[in-house]
Homo-oligomer: A and B are copies of this chain.
Amino acid sequence: MKGIGRKGLCLVLAGPSGGGKTTVARALLQREGGLTLSVSVTTRPARPGEQDGVDYYFCDEDAFARMLAGDELLEWARVLGRHCYGTPRGQVLAALSEGRDVLFDIDWQGFRSLRTALPGDVVGVFLVPPSLPALEARLTARGDESPAEIARRMARARDEIAHCAEFDHVIVNDSLEHTVDLVRAILSAARTATVRLSGLPEALAELGV
């Protein structure tokens, strides 16, 4: 017997903006074969350096509304009452059915919706920052936000962290290397989870059991 066939899984990486999520996601994508990033669609304007189709699919409100109406989004949310973010359905379902895993950089609302849409296929990991003052310092250092915007982001960070217990795993992100190791372990473990081993009956038959 040469291994057991399995379905792909959705690995959600959540945590407050500025908490190191994107850096961890980048390291994971570099080191983990078979893991691809789910690119979200958003109505927020691109920041300097962001590329359409790589960081996000950027679109206007009308285009977003058409996707919603066409049931093309697996989950979506309007954040801080302003910009919309969503996950295109087709790319995710295609990956899962081919046994490939998909990484998501979404918030707790997105995680909750994704889990509802794809029960059993979602593993949620929440990265808690070791300190809130350090988080605020990082947000301020970006230099592209007003003090009022920083205050809004910090309020949102507190709200985000307050939902961490809804996730399957919680990690204190005090070291990039350690966090990446832990998330890779969570991914490896999730890949051997019996609920995901769709090929188990065939594997046992081949073994003669």
Contacts and interface: CB of A to CB of B under 8 A. Distances in A.
Contacts of A208: 132, 158
Interface residues of A, number: 40
Nearest to A6: B170
Contacts of A162: 204, 209
A128 B4 CA distance: 10
Nearest to A166: B194
A3 B194 contact: no
Contact of A158 (B131, B168, B182, B209): B209
A92 to B, nearest CB: 22
A66 to B, nearest CB: 37
Interface in A97-153: 125, 128-132
A188 interface: yes
A93 interface: no
Contact of A170 (B130, B171, B192): B192
A1 B193 contact: no
A94 interface: no
Given A1-B130, A185-B184, A188-B185, A193 B209 contact: no
Given A129-B207, A170-B197, 7 more contacts: A2-B130, A125-B192, A128-B207, A158-B209, A167-B194, A169-B189, A171-B192
Interface of A: 1-4, 125, 128-132, 158, 161-162, 164-165, 167-172, 174, 181-182, 184-186, 188-190, 192-194, 197, 200, 203-204, 207-209
26 contacts: A1-B172, A4-B170, A129-B207, A132-B207, A132-B208, A132-B209, A158-B209, A161-B204, A161-B209, A162-B204, A162-B209, A164-B194, A164-B200, A164-B204, A165-B194, A168-B193, A169-B189, A169-B192, A170-B192, A170-B194, A170-B200, A172-B203, A185-B189, A186-B192, A188-B189, A189-B190
